[in-house]
Chain A
Amino acid sequence: MSYIKPAFHHPSLKPNKVGYLKKDYRGVISTLCAGCGHDSISGAIVQACYEISLEPHKLAKLSGIGCSSKTPTYFLSNSHGFNSVHGRMPSITTGANMANKDLIYLGVSGDGDTASIGMGQFVHAIRRNLNMVYIVMNNGCYGLTKGQDSATADFGSISKEGNANPYQAIDLAGLALELNATFVGRSFSGDKNQLVPMIKAAMSHPGFAFLDVISPCVTFNNTKTSTKSYSHVRDHIEATSTLDYVPFEEEITVDYPEGESAEVELFDGSKIHLSKLAPDFNPTDRFTAVNRLHEAKSKGQILTGLLYINPESKDLHNLMGTSDKPLNQFKQKDLCPGSTKLEEINRAFR
Chain B
Amino acid sequence: MKPTDTKDPEYFHKVVDCQYACPAHTPVPEYIRLIAQQRYTEAYMINWESNVFPGVLGRTCDRPCEPACRRGRVEEEPVAICRLKRVAADNKGEVKHLMPQGPFEMNGKKIALIGGGPASLTVARDLAPLGYEIHLYDEWNKGGGMMRTQIPAFRLPEQVLDEEVNYILDMGVHTHFNTFVDSMKGILDKKYDAVFVGTGAPKGRPLRIPGYEEGKDNIHIGIEFLAAVAFEHRETVGGKVIVLGGGNTAMDCCRTSKRIGGEEVTVVVRSPRKDMKASSWEIKDAELEDIAIFNNMPPKEFVIENGKLKGVTFGKVRAEYDENGKRSLIPTGESDVFIEADDVIIAIGQDNAFPWIEKDLGIEFGKWEIPVLDKTTFQSTLSHVFFGGDAAFGPENVITAVAHGHQAAVSIDLFCKGESIHDRPDPMTNLVSQKMGIHEWTYDNDIAADLRYQVAHADKSVTLKDRKMEVELGFDHIEGFKEAQRCLNCDVQTVFTTNLCIECDACVDICPTDCITFTDNGEEADLRTRLSAPAENLSQDLYVSEILPTQRVMLKDEDVCLHCGLCAERCPTAAWDMKKYLYNVTKAYQ
Contacts and interface: CB of A to CB of B under 8 A. Distances in A.
Nearest to A4: B446
B217 interface: no
B534 A12 contact: yes
Interface in B424-444: 439-444
B550 A11 contact: no
A185 B444 CA distance: 44
A230 B447 contact: no
Interface stretch (B148-156, B404-412, B463-471, B503-511): B503-511
A34 B569 contact: yes
Contact of B449 (A7, A12, A39, A190): A7
Contact of B506 (A1, A3, A35, A234): A35
Contacts of B74: 8-9, 11
B446 A230 contact: no
Which applies to chain A's interface (DSSP): helix, strand, loop or mixed? loop
Interface in B355-402: none
A10 B439 contact: no
Interface size class of B (residues with CB under 8 A): 35 or more
B504 A37 contact: yes
Contacts of B444: 1-2
Contacts of A216: 504
Contacts of A7: 449, 512
A230 B500 CA distance: 13
A231 B446 CA distance: 35
B446 A190 contact: no
A23 interface: yes
Interface string B512-550: 111100000000000000000110100000000000011
Contacts of B572: 33-35, 218
Interface in B458-509: 502-506, 508-509
A313 to B, nearest CB: 31
B445 interface: yes
B509 A11 contact: no
A289 interface: no
Contacts of A42: 509
Contacts of B441: 1
B330 to A, nearest CB: 37
Contact of B505 (A8, A13, A46, A189): A189
B505 A192 contact: yes
A299 interface: no
Given A35-B504, A40-B504, A23 B512 contact: yes
A1 B443 contact: yes
Interface residues of A, number: 36
Contact of A39 (B73, B446, B509, B513): B509
Given A2-B446, A34-B570, A234-B550, A190 B512 contact: no
Most chain A CB inside 10 Å of its own CB: which residue of B75, B504, B569 = B504
B505 to A, nearest CB: 4
Contacts of B283: none
B536 A218 contact: no
A211 interface: no
A190 B445 contact: no
A33 B570 CA distance: 8
Contacts of B449: 6-8
Given A1-B439, A1-B444, A34-B570, A9 B513 contact: yes
B573 interface: yes
A6 B533 contact: no
Interface string A21-36: 0110000011001111
Nearest to B444: A1
A235 to B, nearest CB: 9
Nearest to B449: A7
7 contacts: A5-B564, A9-B74, A10-B514, A13-B514, A13-B533, A34-B571, A230-B503
Interface of A: 1-13, 22-23, 29-30, 33-37, 39-40, 42-43, 46, 189-190, 192, 216, 218, 222, 230-231, 234
Given A5-B510, A10-B513, A43-B505, 11 more contacts: A1-B439, A1-B446, A2-B444, A23-B512, A35-B570, A36-B504, A37-B504, A39-B505, A190-B504, A230-B503, A231-B502
